[in-house]
């Protein structure tokens, strides 16, 4: 699978669990950290975990496992590191506080419909 196809699987897994305000940033355009950030908001800690679990489950079906996971204890911001893609699932308060889109303002947004 291409990184774009994997990003689409991530997006769909978040959308399936009713993640809100899903943003895809092309971090690769401004940094060598990774290719994409996928950022989403959940309405509760329970939903944060459910979304992250679904992303992990869907990618595992394709033989893709995370390199790292952070935030499962607090469930207010879970980060899943897939190397080329880093997934951030926030509760509403922390999404606003950390505002990754502002921090990475030079990274262009990606429209999900343009991904393979």
CA dist 33 and 15 (Å) reads 25
**Top-tier CATH class for 3-102:** alpha beta
CA dist 89 and 37 (Å) reads 11
Res 116 pLDDT > 80: no
What's the pLDDT score for residue 36?
97
- Phi (first) and psi of residue 72, to 5 degrees: -65, -25
What's the pLDDT score for residue 115?
79
- pLDDT tens digits, residue range 47-97? 999 999 999 999 999 999 999 999 999 999 999 999 999 999 999 999 999
């Amino acid at each position: 699978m291409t990184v774009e196809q994997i990003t689409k699987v991530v997006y769909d897994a978040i959308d399936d669990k009713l993640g809100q305000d899903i943003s895809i940033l092309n971090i690769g355009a401004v940094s060598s950290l990774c290719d994409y950030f996928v950022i989403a908001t959940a309405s509760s800690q329970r939903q944060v975990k459910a979304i992250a679990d679904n992303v992990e489950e869907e990618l595992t079906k394709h033989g893709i496992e995370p390199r790292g996971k952070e935030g499962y204890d607090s469930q207010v911001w879970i980060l899943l590191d897939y190397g080329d893609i880093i997934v951030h699932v926030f509760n509403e308060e922390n999404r606003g506080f950390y505002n990754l889109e502002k921090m990475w303002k030079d990274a262009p947004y990606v429209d999900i419909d343009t991904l393979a």
